Chains A and B, each alone.
Chain A
């Protein structure tokens, strides 16, 4: 049986998470609207900044609802797309924010992530998000979707 060996993290690789809040923007509201309802020609605001009716040629093809819930500590922005029958078509996370109490110990923590792959075609500036062991609960989003279904799940015309 192969033996295990003691491992010491390279000093430069040992970093804490940023002490400030950290946000990941996945989609803007217009981007998410377009992805959820590709056939829609316009989105008519039914509740300012919160609910839109997706329309295609005068027909309502669905409802787009923006909401935010508290994640671990900070807000998670998400959107629920409902079909005209009030069923959930998709749920997208638009923006995820998190905060950590740790301090930055590494000399250049951003350099650890972005610099490492900046020359590669994979460099999209998101490497920091690839964290293993970060089981984040989506419980509050699930509750939020239920709430939205309670409000709008009866269908739209």
Chain B
């Protein structure tokens, strides 16, 4: 069967979103890529922390005063984030990142005051009917930076699958997902030295996401939050240098990298619950994987 491929990239989600798609003919692929980029642009528009018109900004401005109706996509992401917060015993928390920002990335200032504990999202956020959301406390504000990028990749994959595309890979700055009859080889960057890679992993009809503990001041504020913050310790997560998670969806892969960064090996049960596996690079240089990790296949 003859097939053609296209390779496209656009600046979205504060990074470069790259797409490779293979299918029977060029114009179908171009249309599919346009639809996939449009889906990502929609996620960007809905969930950007910085865009005042986004659902996230509208919630942060108004939801403590009255319920705010959001797009079904935003609602689904927040619902997934709250579920993961509960299952991770608070390690994954979309209400904590703004504290980091407010503190100018100096978390101890915000956390240092007595009685200033952040309430769990389960108590702070009320999910109502018809995609309406209310915050129970005026100081609550959310940032979906730790989960929305993966969700955007899933929506792009969905858009491609619905069209004349046989196989595709979507990579949003390291959060990626792929489908098709063959596996895709992906290199994992070394979190301790981004010029190096630590090995390859093959993915097939699944997703992969990586997080490093570095804070790069040369990056834009949108992507600088690679410094993962432990909401329970009120401190940056330091035990793990970097984590890569493979999962059925990019949203879960994206979000679970943060839990692995914070909880390290204790995240194993949670990973298993979401049918995910992980590779983590510890600060002492040792690399550990969950038993279902299959990176060696690529060798």
Which A residues have a C-beta under 8 Å from some C-beta of B?
1-10, 12-17, 24, 26-27, 35, 72, 78, 90-93, 96, 100-102, 112-113, 116-117, 120-122, 124, 126-139, 141-142, 145
Q: Is B295 interfacial (CB 8 A cutoff)?
A: yes
Complex alpha-carbon distance, A112 and B3, angstroms: 23
User: Is B14's CB under 8 angstroms from A121's CB?
Assistant: no
Which B residues have a C-beta under 8 Å from some C-beta of A?
1, 3, 5, 7-12, 14-16, 18, 20, 22, 30, 37, 166-167, 169, 171, 173-176, 180-191, 193-201, 208-212, 218-220, 222-223, 226, 242, 244, 265-266, 268-269, 272, 279-280, 286-293, 295-296, 298-299
User: Is A78's CB under 8 angstroms from B197's CB?
Assistant: no
User: Is A2's CB under 8 angstroms from B22's CB?
Assistant: no
Besides A2-B290, A137-B15, 20 more A-B contacts (Cβ < 8 Å) are A1-B266, A3-B291, A4-B280, A7-B287, A7-B295, A9-B199, A10-B298, A13-B199, A121-B3, A121-B166, A122-B182, A126-B20, A130-B169, A131-B186, A131-B189, A133-B189, A133-B210, A134-B173, A138-B12, A139-B222
Complex alpha-carbon distance, A129 and B242, angstroms: 20
Complex alpha-carbon distance, A108 and B220, angstroms: 35
User: Is A13's CB under 8 angstroms from B11's CB?
Assistant: no
Complex alpha-carbon distance, A138 and B167, angstroms: 26
Complex alpha-carbon distance, A6 and B286, angstroms: 7
**Given contacts A4-B268, A16-B197, A141-B11, are A127 and B185 in contact (CB under 8 A)?**
yes
A121 partner, pick from B167, B189, B269, B293, beta carbons under 8 A = B167
User: Is B219's CB under 8 angstroms from A122's CB?
Assistant: no
Complex alpha-carbon distance, A64 and B269, angstroms: 52
User: Is A132's CB under 8 angstroms from B182's CB?
Assistant: no
B268 partner, pick from A1, A92, A139, beta carbons under 8 A = A1
User: Is A130's CB under 8 angstroms from B185's CB?
Assistant: yes
